[in-house]
Amino acid sequence: MKRFLWVCLMVMLLFCMAFADNSEKKARIEINIPSRTLSFYKGDELVKRYPVCVGKPTTPTPTGSFKVIYKAVNPHWLHDGKIIPPGPKNPLGIRWIGIADGIGIHGNNQPQSIGTLASAGCIRMYNKDVAELYAQVPVGTPVRIIYECVEVFEDPYGKEKAAVVFPDSYKAGGKYGKELLQEPAGKGLGKEQLDRVQDLLKASLKAPAAAALNIGIFLNNRFVTGSGFYENGAVFISYQAARELLGLSPEFLTGYQIATEEKNGIIFIDLSGSAKVLGWDMHYDEKSAGAYLKLMPVKINGVYLAKNLGNDDTQSLIDTKSLKSLGYPMQEDEVDLMLFGSALVKVQREKKNCIGIDPLLALLNGEKRTDTLLGIVDAVIPVRLKKDGKYYDTVKNHQGVFISGQTAEAIKPEWALTENTEAALEALNSQEGDIPLETFLAGMHYRTNEYNTVIEILEEGDSEAASN
């Protein structure tokens, strides 16, 4: 009997542990109206933040606790007694996640509205974002809609936390006074920052402002770092932030002689000068002590290439002139751009010939990583080898970058004999054998372009030969 009770107790304990573990990872959604963001959590872990469009002041998005009650793919829209079928004229986009009677999280057919106050009370998302969210939130998922004008951020490029104060979108100071004026106490902010928060809450803000130890730097009205300063009419940002966020490479800094400064062991670069050289829209607001950069950057393998002339949702575009920096053979006519024997259709944006990033990456076996909250597109493209005007593919996996034995033999037939390595000989004799690119390049003369898209193999006697 005692043994039976012991077994039952153990079964109940294991069940409770499994239930607790499952509840800790349960999906939930939180939407903050002033910041116009949707945060998706699994338990206490923030999975991703998305930009959203919320209700106009005349048709505000309601606050409170809700849950997902209904989901639909390619929903129909009932408006003025008419049923609008799925398609480009349907303002619900490609997904509907209902949370209350007439209120839902959905896609859109006006991507330019994301980040604004424009809906009739619903929460709009980019179509690709809502499709991603839709797949992860079952019916019953809790949804909490809040109205908080203050958020505290861990600054990834600074040593201190920063508070961001958002405009009081609905002029709700009276209705939500307690939430608006409550100090974010216990969140690691110093007295100076807390005083700054109070001052900003009383101001009539037109854009978000930061209570940081230095200035706040914003990309598309999203706080990115307080690791910067304003000096002699110029905004400086930590080089780490400029490199990781915007893709400003050492070659760019030296090529355009961008000013740098060192403070407390941290390297800062002149962001104002960089923006001027690259044609970025940026201004510094002395009243809010904030630098505001309006830009959708496109990076190739982490290095800034050009502005996205499309949008974050349906079509990201890059101008053909910038594409030439990647080192590929290209020919253009009035309609197409020819690349590696394939045609890419051109479109016109801002009086420039452009190519869609998605078809470009499909041709180059690349992939796209998009941060829709900040508006950053980071395209990852495999490096190609170039020898005597011919291009050769490489293969990348979790172990590194490789070339086939056949490619090695085509580029340098005598390589295996020169290196005399067992691995090289095995690769050359195998149909499936791959050679680490680093091993192949050892001892060779070559040069790599700034974007790491092309490695050109040079002859030893070439006057420009350089080992990288």
Active-site residue flag, 106: yes
For 148-265, where are the E strands, in sequence order?
A: 150-154, 161-165, 209-211, 216-219, 222-225, 228-231, 234-238, 260-263
In the structure encoding, which two tokens stand for residue 235, read together? 């905004």
In the structure encoding, which two tokens stand for residue 467, read together? 């080992």
d(CA 376, CA 220): 10
Count the residues in the chain: 468
- Report the phi/psi class of residue 21: left, alpha or beta, with left for phi > 0 and alpha for psi in -120 to 50: alpha
User: Which residue among the candidates 8, 76, 106, 445 is catalytic per the annotation?
Assistant: 106
3-state SS assignment for residue 12:
helix
Q: Which residue has the tokens 């009539």?
A: 204
Give Dmax (Cα) for the chain.
Answer: 90
Active-site residue flag, 122: yes
d(CA 231, CA 124): 40
Eight-state DSSP code of residue 228: E
User: Which residue among the candidates 53, 122, 149, 354 is catalytic per the annotation?
Assistant: 122
Give the neighbor-by-neighbor strand order of the sheet with 228-231: 228-231, 234-238, 266-270, 260-263
Nearest alpha-carbon partner for 70 in 42, 47, 92, 48:
92
H/E stretch holding 357:
helix 357-364
Q: Which residue has the tokens 């070659």?
A: 251
d(CA 447, CA 458): 8
3-state SS assignment for residue 315:
coil
In the structure encoding, which two tokens stand for residue 80, read together? 């003025």
Catalytic residue annotation: 106, 122
